[in-house]
Amino acid sequence: MRAVFLSVAHSHLARGAENARLSLTEYDVSLRATDAACAVLRQRSCPVVVLDSAHNPTTTYDDIKIAAARALNPSLAVEIHCNANKDKRANYGEVIHRAGDPVALRAAVTVSDHLRDALGSTRHLWPWRGARIDERNLFFVQQTNCPALIVEGLFLSNDEQAEWLASPGGAEAYGALVGEGIALFIEREHL
């Protein structure tokens, strides 16, 4: 069984989206969520490798994570992100994958459906856009040598979602849901 590669999104130097009111950054959420996803995968006996940006500049980290993914040649590479928008009411989720990669599409649908079912069944009723083709040419999705996903599950600019992520166990619950979706995909594909 090949490993799953989890890359923590952003870094201490480039923290990604931010909710200033809550002092919450995308890097902080991704770190907590990635740790939780990793724990779920290990509980399900899926080999997993995690890469954290630590204190590398963004361009250096981009090169490091692509080189690591290529060397590892995992069955799947995933980054857990948060969205942000000027419209503070924006609240949809999506899982982005490379066009023309049928394995990435199946992985994106599986992870997306799992998140949609879990988050849509809560009191929050956060809408879900589903599995989406990478139209922005995101380097993590495009430059890896394996199926790769970027999970954009929640918005830090949406106060309700940011408060949930900032709450004790919120980012961890988000990451655990992503980990469960990945594990479902790995089991279905017999990878």
Per residue in 19-28, pLDDT (tens digit) is: 999 999 999 9
The conformation of residue 75, written as its DSSP 8-state character, comes to S
User: What angle do the packed helices 102-120 and 170-189 form, to 10 degrees?
Assistant: 140
pLDDT band (50, 70, 90) for residue 34: very high
Per residue in 41-78, pLDDT (tens digit) is: 999 999 999 999 777 777 788 888 899 999 999 999 99
* 46, HSE (Cβ side, Cα atoms, 13 Å): 29
Per residue in 103-141, pLDDT (tens digit) is: 999 999 999 999 988 887 555 567 788 899 988 889 899
pLDDT value, residue 153: 87
pLDDT value, residue 59: 74
- Which residues lie below 8 Å from residue 175, measured CB to CB, with a gap of 6+? 32, 33, 34, 35, 36, 37, 40, 80
Given a cut of 90, is residue 190 above it in pLDDT?
Answer: no
Contact 30, 10 (CB under 8 A): yes
Least confidently predicted of 142-146, 176-180, 181-185: 142-146
Using alpha carbons, select from 169, 175, 168 the residue that is nearest to residue 154: 175
Report, as an integer, the average pLDDT of 92-104.
Answer: 94
